Amino acid sequence: DSGVTQTPKHLITATGQRVTLRCSPRSGDLSVYWYQQSLDQGLQFLIQYYNGEERAKGNILERFSAQQFPDLHSELNLSSLELGDSALYFCASSPRGLVFYEQFFGPGTRLTVL
Amino acid sequence: KNQVEQSPQSLIILEGKNCTLQCNYTVSPFSNLRWYKQDTGRGPVSLTIMTFSENTKSNGRYTATLDADTKQSSLHITASQLSDSASYICVVSPNTGNQFYFGTGTSLTVIP
């Protein structure tokens, strides 16, 4: 158990809908990362937050947005969902915001768009 | 273009045998390279993190090597166990901005 929690574990929705994925980092970690893992593209970095502020952006679509709240939990919002958004979404946390810190991954949220 | 390539794509070995997985990258300028183990349907777990100045790092039966000149890394698994069956993913970060470039992984199956 990494100490990172993600909810829900599974989510099934329809195209065009909007969903919110939630992540609670390990106690004391200030940085949260979001990743998408699909069968055809592997793992991709989406976005990073550090202590409530956006720190880095990866391949995040404009239809996706995220935020980190004062209690350090984070939410990833996915809107106007398409079939291709079906994937595993992982959240990871690390103590600080720099790339060389170890990241601890949560169990993931499996999103299925029908 | 920043890319990370891993080989082989999949590998089957007998329990107790050793194996080596490869990672080649074009990410520049280089900051660090990580190896993760990912069991099916679960989040990745960090095995090693190596920076430019490190050329070998061990974590139990896992030993990672890095040649920053040739931009190659390998992960050597010694005395494999059934529980080593997983996907092994190489991730490289540049030292400009917080970015992470993932390889597509090597799927390892250890059979009795």
Pairwise CB contact (< 8 Å): B51 & A2: no
Q: How many helices (H) and strands (E) does chain B have?
A: 0, 11
Tell me, what's the pLDDT at B38? 95
State how far the Cα of B30 lies from the Cα of B34, in Å rounded to an integer: 12
Whether the per-residue pLDDT at B25 is higher than 80: the answer is: yes
pLDDT for B48-107, tens place per residue? 999 988 899 999 999 999 999 999 999 999 999 999 999 999 999 988 778 889 999 999
The pLDDT value recorded for residue A101 is 80
Q: Which residues of A touch B49 (CB under 8 A)?
A: 100, 102
In this predicted structure, what is the pLDDT of residue A6? Answer: 98
Written as tens digits, the pLDDT of chain A (114 aa) is 889 999 999 999 999 999 999 999 999 999 999 999 998 778 999 999 999 999 999 989 999 999 999 999 999 999 999 999 999 999 999 988 776 788 999 999 999 999
pLDDT at B99: 87
Q: B93 to chain A: nearest residue by CA?
A: A99
Residue of B nearest to A101 (CA): B49
Chain A interface includes B46 (CB < 8 A): yes
Cβ neighbours of B103 in A, within 8 Å? 42
SS3 percent helix, strand, coil of chain A, rounded to 5, is 5, 55, 45
Mutate to test the interface with A, among B102, B104, B106, B107 (most CBs of A within 10 A): B102
CA distances from A106 to A46, A73, B61 (A): 15, 13, 24
Give me the pLDDT at residue B109, please. 98
B32 contacts in A (CB within 8 Å)? 99-100
